[in-house]
Structure 1
Amino acid sequence: MHSGLSIVAVCVAALLAISGGGLFAASAGSQVPAPELQDLITHDKGNIRTTVSNWGTIGGLSHLGFPSGEWPKGSGHDYLAELKYWMGASVVSGDTLLADSDDDYAPLTSYATATDYRIRLSTDSTRYEFDRDDTTGAGRDNPAYGWRHYDPQTGEWVYNEVWDPQTESFYSGGPSSLQESIYRFNDAGLGSSLMGLEMVQTIYQWNYSYNEDVMFVVLDITNKSDNDYENFAFGLYCDFDIGGPDGSGENGRLGDLVASDTSQNLAWTYDADGYDPGWGPSVVTGVMGTRYIETPDNIGMTAFRTGEWERIENTNDREKYAYITDHIYEESLPPTDQYYVQATSGINLEKGKTIRIGFAIIAGYDEEDFRNKSKIAQTVYSNHFVGPTPPKPSKLTVLSGNNEARLSWDNTAPESVDPLLGVADFAGYKLYRSTDQGASWGRLVRNNDGSLGPDYVPLAIWRVEDASEPIPHTYVDTALVNGFEYWYSVVAFDKGDSSAGVGPLQTAYGRPGSDDNAGAAVPRSNPAGYVPVESTLRHEVEGGATASDGNVVPVLFDDSQFSGEEYEVGFKEDMYTTSWYVVNRTTGDTLAVDMTDQSGDLAQAPVVDGVQVFVFNGEREPRHFKQVSFSAGADTTLELGYSYGPMGSAFGFPIGGDVHFRSTYQLRFTATGSLGYSFYDDVTPINLPFEVWNTTTNQQVLAEIYHLDADEPGWDPRNRDYISIVNVPYDNQSHPEAFPYGHSWFFRLDTASYNYRVGDVFEVGGAPVNGADDKFVFNIPSVNKEAASAALDQVRVVPNPYVARAAWETVEGERRLEFVNLPATATIRVYTLAGDLVQTLEHDGSGTFVWNMLTSNGQGIAPGLYFYHVESQVGERVGKFAVIK
Structure 2
Amino acid sequence: VDLDQDGITDIYVGEKLKMTDWHWFDWYNRPGVVYSEGSSGCCAGDPGKDQAQNKEEIQYKVMSGDTTNLTDAEKGRYFHANPSLDQLDPNFNPHFDNVEDLKLTEFFQEDPDGLDCVMEMTCGPFDLAVQDSVPFSFCIIYGQNIEDLLANAEFAQVMYNAKYQGFTSPTIPTVESEVGDEYVKLYWDQAADSSQDVVTGYYDFEGYKIYKSIDEGVSWGDDGDKIFDNTGIQVGWRPLIQFDLSYEDDYYHCVKNPQIGKCDEIALSSGQSDTFRGMDVSGNDPLAPWFEVGSNTGMPNEISSDVCGMYFDSAMNDSLSRCGEDCTKDFNLDGTNECYYYYVDTNVLNGIEYTYSVVSYDTGLPDSTQVSANPDSWARPNGYQYIESSRGSTPLDSNFETVIPGAQNTGNDCNSVRVIPNPYFGRSTLNETIYNRRISFMDLPEKYTLSIYTVSGELVWSQDETHQDAGDGIAFWDLRSVNNQEVSPGLYIYTLDAESGSGSARTTECSHIGKFAIVR
Aligned to 2:239: 458
Aligned to 1:405: 184
Q: Does the CA-based 8 Å contact 1:404-1:478 persist in structure 2? A: yes
Structure 1 segment 732-743 matched on structure 2, within 5 A: none
Structure 1 segment 724-873 matched on structure 2, within 5 A: 783=410, 785=411, 789=413, 792-843=414-465, 845-873=471-499
* 1:500 partner letter: W
Structure 1: distance between partners of 2:219 and 2:52: 46
TM-score, structure 2 as length reference: 0.50
Change (3 A) 1:813 1:510: closer
* 1:852 partner letter: D
- 1:500 match: secondary structure: coil
The answer to whether residue 355 in structure 2 is matched with residue 477 in structure 1 is no
Aligned to 2:74: none
Q: Does the CA-based 8 Å contact 1:853-1:861 persist in structure 2? A: yes
Structure 2: distance between partners of 1:820 and 1:439: 25
The answer to whether residue 75 in structure 2 is matched with residue 298 in structure 1 is no
Aligned to 2:511: 876
* 2:171 partner letter: K
1:125-184 superposed Cα distances (whole Å, 9 cap, x missing partner): xxxxxxxxxxxxxxxxxxxxxxxxxxxxxxxxxxxxxxxxxxxxxxxxxxxxxxxxxxxx
TM-score, structure 1 as length reference: 0.31
Aligned to 2:400: 518
Larger gyration radius, structure 1 or structure 2: 1
1:514-567 superposed Cα distances (whole Å, 9 cap, x missing partner): 43222223x343223xxxxxxxxxxxxxxxxxxxxxxxxxxxxxxxxxxxxxxx
Change (3 A) 1:424 1:851: same
The answer to whether residue 217 in structure 2 is matched with residue 389 in structure 1 is no
Change (3 A) 1:444 1:880: closer
Structure 1 segment 29-428 matched on structure 2, within 5 A: 297-299=18-20, 302-303=23-24, 314=46, 316=51, 325=62, 326=78, 343-345=120-122, 347-352=124-129, 354-359=133-138, 377=156, 379-385=158-164, 387-420=166-199, 422=201, 424-428=203-207
Q: Structure 2 regions of 5+ residues with no counterpart?
A: 1-15, 29-38, 63-77, 81-101, 142-147, 261-297, 301-340, 366-373, 500-508
* 2:512 partner letter: R
* 1:490 partner letter: V
Structure 2: distance between partners of 1:401 and 1:846: 10
Structure 2: distance between partners of 1:313 and 1:883: 64
Structure 1: distance between partners of 2:350 and 2:494: 21
1:58-80 superposed Cα distances (whole Å, 9 cap, x missing partner): xxxxxxxxxxxxxxxxxxxxxxx
Structure 2: distance between partners of 1:390 and 1:884: 48
Q: Does the CA-based 8 Å contact 1:302-1:327 persist in structure 2? A: yes
Structure scoring higher RCO (CA < 8 A, sep ≥ 6) equals 2
Q: Does the CA-based 8 Å contact 1:434-1:487 persist in structure 2? A: yes
Greater fraction strand? 1
Two-structure CA RMSD over aligned residues (Å) = 4.4
- 1:855 match: secondary structure: coil
Structure 1: distance between partners of 2:216 and 2:25: 40
Aligned to 1:490: 358
- 1:849 match: secondary structure: strand
Q: Does the CA-based 8 Å contact 2:173-2:358 persist in structure 1? A: yes
Structure 2: distance between partners of 1:838 and 1:457: 43
Q: Does the CA-based 8 Å contact 1:825-1:845 persist in structure 2? A: no
* 1:841 partner letter: Q
Task: Pick from 350, 375, 378 the counterpart of residue 500 of structure 1.
Answer: 378
Change (3 A) 1:877 1:524: farther
* 2:174 partner letter: K
Structure 2: distance between partners of 1:809 and 1:300: 59
- Please report how far the alpha carbon of residue 395 of structure 1 lies from its aligned counterpart in structure 2 after TM superposition: 0.6
Q: Which stretch has the larger CA shift, 861-870 or 428-437?
A: 428-437
Q: Does the CA-based 8 Å contact 2:497-2:511 persist in structure 1? A: yes
- 1:297 match: secondary structure: coil
- Please report how far the alpha carbon of residue 850 of structure 1 lies from its aligned counterpart in structure 2 after TM superposition: 0.9
Structure 2: distance between partners of 1:371 and 1:440: 40
Structure 1: distance between partners of 2:117 and 2:459: 64
Change (3 A) 1:494 1:831: same
Q: Does the CA-based 8 Å contact 1:430-1:459 persist in structure 2? A: yes
Q: How many residues align?
A: 319
* 1:298 partner letter: M
Structure 1: distance between partners of 2:487 and 2:433: 18
Structure 2: distance between partners of 1:361 and 1:862: 60
- Please report how far the alpha carbon of residue 408 of structure 1 lies from its aligned counterpart in structure 2 after TM superposition: 0.9
* 1:878 partner letter: I
- Please report how far the alpha carbon of residue 458 of structure 1 lies from its aligned counterpart in structure 2 after TM superposition: 2.5
- Please report how far the alpha carbon of residue 484 of structure 1 lies from its aligned counterpart in structure 2 after TM superposition: 4.5
Q: Does the CA-based 8 Å contact 2:442-2:473 persist in structure 1? A: yes
Change (3 A) 1:474 1:853: same
Change (3 A) 1:454 1:304: farther
Structure 2: distance between partners of 1:356 and 1:808: 51
Structure 2: distance between partners of 1:334 and 1:876: 85
Change (3 A) 1:507 1:821: same
- Please report how far the alpha carbon of residue 477 of structure 1 lies from its aligned counterpart in structure 2 after TM superposition: 1.9
Structure 1 segment 565-644 matched on structure 2, within 5 A: none
Q: Does the CA-based 8 Å contact 1:432-1:488 persist in structure 2? A: yes
Aligned to 1:133: none
* 1:460 partner letter: I
- Please report how far the alpha carbon of residue 423 of structure 1 lies from its aligned counterpart in structure 2 after TM superposition: 5.5
Structure 2: distance between partners of 1:877 and 1:453: 50
- 2:159 match: secondary structure: helix
- Please report how far the alpha carbon of residue 820 of structure 1 lies from its aligned counterpart in structure 2 after TM superposition: 1.9
Structure 1: distance between partners of 2:439 and 2:205: 44
Change (3 A) 1:810 1:358: farther
1:582-619 superposed Cα distances (whole Å, 9 cap, x missing partner): xxxxxxxxxxxxxxxxxxxxxxxxxxxxxxxxxxxxxx
- Please report how far the alpha carbon of residue 428 of structure 1 lies from its aligned counterpart in structure 2 after TM superposition: 1.9
* 1:380 partner letter: M
Structure 2: distance between partners of 1:433 and 1:859: 33
Identity among equivalent positions (%) equals 28
Aligned to 1:527: 408
Structure 2: distance between partners of 1:381 and 1:355: 16
Q: Does the CA-based 8 Å contact 1:393-1:491 persist in structure 2? A: yes
Structure 2: distance between partners of 1:375 and 1:305: 31
- Please report how far the alpha carbon of residue 492 of structure 1 lies from its aligned counterpart in structure 2 after TM superposition: 1.8
- 1:526 match: secondary structure: coil
Q: Does the CA-based 8 Å contact 2:348-2:405 persist in structure 1? A: no
Q: Does the CA-based 8 Å contact 1:349-1:355 persist in structure 2? A: no
Q: Does the CA-based 8 Å contact 2:491-2:515 persist in structure 1? A: yes
Change (3 A) 1:524 1:341: farther
